[in-house]
C-alpha cells in the first residue's frame, strides 16, 4: 500500500491560461504487474479469452459484470500504487460555470463523466487552461459549428486557487496502462468512466481527484476534484464570458465555432 512517504520528490509546476506557457509532467509512482487474462479451449474449438474473476476478498464495484469488463477498474485496483500528480499550493485551475451557481460547486447529479452515480460524494470539474475549460464546458455538442449565445451569456470563468497541495491520479499517458485503464475513460460512455471515479475515490491512498485529457480537445488537461479537497480551494478572479469579447473571439476562432 502506498502512503505519503512513497511519493518521493514533488514535481512543482504551475497552471496558466496561456497553453504555451505552462509546464506539465506528472511524477509517477510505482506500479504492480497486470495479471494476464486466462485462455481456455476445447478440442476443435477456437481459443477464447476468459476474463479473470474477482475473488470473494475483492471489493464489489457495484456495477454489472457485463458493462465493458475490460474497461472497468481491475479487481486488484485498491492494492495498486497510483500514478500521482502533485499540485502545489499557489497553483490554479480554471472553471467555466453557470454564473448563478458559483465556481466552487461539487455536483453529485450523476450526469457527468466522473460523478459518483450514487451521489455519495461531489465532483468539481476544472481545467488547466481557459481553452480546456471552454472545450469541455461549451463544446459538448459534438460536431456543432455554432455555440448558443444565450448559454455563453449565462456563464462565467473563475480561477480556483489551490491553497494546500492536492494529489491527483493521472488517468492519462502511462498512467492508463499502469492502472489497467484505456483512453476510453476520458472519451467513452459514462458507464465506463464513473466506476473509475468510484474506485479512485475509495482507494486507500485517498487521492483528491483525477487528471484526464479533455474529450473535446485532447491536447488539454482537465481535473475532476473530489469534495474531500474543498477546504484546499479558494475562488480567485472571476469574469463573465461575454465581458472579454477579445478573449472569447480567440476561443471561437481556435475551435472554428460561431455564435447563434
Tell me what pLDDT residue 117 has: 84
Structural domains in the chain (count): 1
Task: Report the phi/psi class of residue 44: left, alpha or beta, with left for phi > 0 and alpha for psi in -120 to 50.
Answer: left
CB atoms within 10 A of CB 13: 16
Q: Is residue 89 part of a domain?
A: yes
Q: Is residue 46 part of a domain?
A: no
* Contact of 78 with 203, CB cutoff 8 Å: yes
Residue with the three cell numbers 493521472: 170
Output the domain CATH number for residue 96: 3.90.175
For 154-210, what is each residue's pLDDT tens digit? 999 999 999 999 999 999 999 999 999 999 999 999 999 999 999 999 999 999 999
The kind and range of the H/E element at 250 are helix 245-254
Q: Whole-prediction pTM value?
A: 0.73
Domain that holds residue 215: 84-260
Higher per-residue pLDDT: 212 or 3? 212
Q: Is residue 118 part of a domain?
A: yes
- What is the spatial distance between Cα 148 and Cα 136, in angstroms, rounded to a whole number? 15
Residue with the three cell numbers 491520479: 169
Amino acid at each position: 500500500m502506498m502512503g505519503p512517504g512513497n511519493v518521493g520528490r514533488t514535481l512543482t509546476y504551475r497552471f496558466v491560461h496561456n497553453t504555451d506557457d505552462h509546464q506539465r509532467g506528472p511524477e509517477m509512482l510505482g506500479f504492480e504487474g497486470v495479471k494476464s487474462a486466462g485462455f481456455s479451449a476445447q478440442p476443435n474449438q477456437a481459443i477464447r479469452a476468459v476474463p479473470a474473476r474477482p475473488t470473494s476478498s475483492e471489493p464489489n464495484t457495484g456495477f454489472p459484470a457485463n458493462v465493458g469488463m475490460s474497461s472497468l477498474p481491475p479487481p486488484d485496483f485498491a492494492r495498486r500504487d497510483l500514478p500521482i500528480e502533485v499540485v502545489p499550493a499557489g497553483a490554479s485551475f480554471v472553471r467555466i460555470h453557470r454564473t448563478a451557481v458559483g465556481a466552487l460547486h461539487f455536483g453529485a447529479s450523476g450526469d457527468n463523466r466522473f460523478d459518483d452515480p450514487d451521489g455519495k460524494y461531489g465532483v468539481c470539474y476544472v481545467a488547466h487552461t481557459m481553452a480546456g475549460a471552454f472545450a469541455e464546458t461549451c463544446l459538448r455538442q459534438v460536431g456543432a459549428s455554432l455555440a448558443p449565445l444565450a448559454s455563453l451569456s449565462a456563464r462565467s470563468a473563475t480561477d480556483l486557487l489551490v491553497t494546500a497541495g492536492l494529489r491527483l491520479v493521472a488517468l492519462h499517458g502511462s498512467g492508463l496502462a499502469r492502472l489497467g485503464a484505456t483512453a476510453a475513460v476520458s472519451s467513452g460512455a459514462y458507464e465506463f468512466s464513473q466506476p473509475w471515479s468510484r474506485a479512485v475515490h475509495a482507494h486507500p491512498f485517498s487521492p483528491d481527484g483525477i487528471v484526464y485529457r479533455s474529450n473535446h480537445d485532447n491536447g488539454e488537461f482537465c481535473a475532476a476534484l473530489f469534495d474531500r479537497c474543498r477546504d484546499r480551494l479558494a475562488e480567485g478572479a472571476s469574469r463573465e464570458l461575454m465581458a472579454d469579447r477579445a478573449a472569447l473571439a480567440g476561443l471561437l476562432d481556435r475551435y472554428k465555432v460561431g455564435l447563434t
